[in-house]
Chain A
């Protein structure tokens, strides 16, 4: 991945009646990056991807690819690849003809094209499948053919629209790591759309979390997972506790946060911090004797505790009535109604911004009046 920008979206707007799949959407994507747009259905991610591909035209805004304005260039002149959700494998052609379809305009001779086709089929793990009928392929194989077909003409960017959502769990996991390795091997820029948080975390260099045509947060997977910017992002990743809290003693570096009968000074992460909520990951919570070394300790009552194999999930009621769910591995379930200490480090308490407006506009700028 280089620092060179290959795709630049500037102030894209698009509306279908009342629905706004893109509402002043801007982002820069770097050459060779695996970039994921993550969001619930209706967040606009697929429409934005289709606008990049030229299958939709933005109402206003600009799309630049390799520095050139492509906003109104038709899809067949953009040299981008696209993998569709249902693959859209041409049913009247065999596997080889599908993969070779985009090579018609490439000026390759017949034998060069054949070499390119078998090279791609090998890349996706389908070596020797040229003559197969596409009706004989499993879902996973169709997905691979679609990927090979899109990559054949060496596109500048590969767009993937929920390419794994039609597959079952096991094949989906296999394909995740295969797509990742295809990305590494080809060095092509991937723009990936999904609603699956795990898929996004596993595969991406960078994730943008989308809601209602805007991105709420953009960053590398670990950053987004550990430090969600808003309640929307926090809720999107399973296992985060959202807790109402009072914020006082604002400074540039820290905020004092009170909830559950205690107060702690937490680092301020250059945000508005106006949601009145903090997010705490369930696995960051320490219970009982493990908690004693933590900076922030609270008293809690065990509501329920369930063994779930890899981890044990424990619901705790704090003294202010709020409920936290702790996930710990390698420990037996706790007795219900037990009084217990719950501890966490200040680092793990993430102060959230309210879910409105764009984050980039308001970095370090205003403080809520409280």
Chain B
């Protein structure tokens, strides 16, 4: 739309029609503005990642390691049980993300459509309250709630719903999913709410006037227009859940491992090249997935909507 293009235009005058001063002036501050964050990203993100990638080709020698170009670490990772843990993480993160979307979307929809405008800020603030408590503590709190003598089982026993405490509530796949969902779902409400709130209600009204009722209008108009927010939210949820190690350690029970645990276990035995190889492989897979993701759903449309 025209507004979107207008919103993307730089506000500084473009060079070429303002003489030497006119063409120099906007270039300098823009370059300076860009250089600082680019340097920041390079030093603090690209740097460590490059070191990690380099270390993944080194070889382990007793308690230390030596620079090398060896594929030994990758062979260990891809040839052993750690690869199946990698795939388990992929599956768990995917399903956890789907569950989180199914919960976060209706919540975001209600906030965008049913909450009075002056209360929206307060409601959104409520969803950020959990972040005031460290998430390791929040995860540990579940063991108290879900354990054999936790209050969920106490209440179920008292009500007579069950005869003996439920075992599968804690140290189980269920507990891991619950932990992941509660840890990352609140992050997903914001982008979905943002994209829903940015949809002009007249699109829906236009659909009504063309004979489509509320459900079909939602399906054909509101849902597709809100997808950029859903995809942004999915990235938050998926990336978080994929790299998770605290939830699986605390709630997964003995021996339950996700990718994060597998990497830390390699660090525990001072096998830095292996940990680096697993991390590098993961970063590579993530980069591929995110590239495909962005190909399919142009996030810029979403950003333009916010910037507009």
Residues of A within 8 A of B (CB): 53-55, 74-77, 79-82, 84, 86, 88, 90-92, 101-102, 104-105, 134-135, 139, 149-150, 152-153
Contacts and interface: CB of A to CB of B under 8 A. Distances in A.
B172 interface: no
A88 B205 contact: yes
A320 B212 CA distance: 64
25 contacts: A53-B209, A74-B208, A75-B205, A75-B208, A76-B208, A76-B210, A76-B211, A76-B214, A76-B217, A81-B209, A81-B210, A82-B209, A84-B206, A86-B202, A88-B206, A92-B224, A92-B225, A101-B212, A105-B211, A105-B212, A139-B2, A149-B210, A150-B209, A152-B210, A153-B210
Given A84-B202, A88-B203, A92-B224, A135 B1 contact: yes
Contacts of A55: 205, 208-209
B213 interface: yes
Closest 5 pairs between A and B when the two form their complex, measured CB to CB: A102-B210, A88-B202, A88-B206, A75-B208, A82-B209
A243 B188 CA distance: 66
A288 to B, nearest CB: 51
Given A91-B225, A92-B224, A92-B225, A104 B206 contact: no
A80 B209 contact: yes
Interface in B221-240: 221, 224-225
Best-buried of B4, B200, B202, B224 by chain A (most CB within 10 Å): B202
Given A84-B202, A135-B1, A139-B2, A90 B209 contact: no
A281 B211 CA distance: 46
Given A82-B206, A88-B206, A76 B225 contact: no
A102 B206 CA distance: 10
Interface residues of B, number: 21
Contacts of B206: 82, 84, 88, 90, 149
Interface of B: 1-2, 4, 200, 202-203, 205-214, 217, 220-221, 224-225
A7 to B, nearest CB: 15
A76 B4 CA distance: 30
B224 A76 contact: no
Contacts of A149: 206, 210
Given A53-B209, A76-B213, A81-B209, A88 B200 contact: yes
Contacts of B205: 55, 75, 82, 84, 88
Best-buried of A55, A76, A80, A86 by chain B (most CB within 10 Å): A76
Best-buried of A74, A88, A152 by chain B (most CB within 10 Å): A88
A90 B1 contact: no
Contacts of B225: 91-92
A74 B213 contact: yes
Contacts of A53: 209
B299 to A, nearest CB: 15
B222 to A, nearest CB: 11
A240 B294 CA distance: 61
Contacts of B207: 90, 101
A102 B211 contact: yes
Contacts of A54: 208
Given A74-B208, A76-B217, A152-B210, 10 more contacts: A75-B209, A76-B208, A76-B213, A82-B206, A86-B202, A88-B205, A92-B225, A101-B220, A102-B211, A135-B1
Contact of B211 (A88, A91, A135, A153): A153
A55 B205 CA distance: 7
Nearest to B227: A92
A80 B210 CA distance: 8
Contacts of B221: 90
A102 B213 CA distance: 11
A90 B211 contact: no
A90 B224 CA distance: 10
A91 B228 CA distance: 13
Nearest to A102: B210
B200 A79 contact: no
Nearest to A84: B202
Nearest to A105: B211
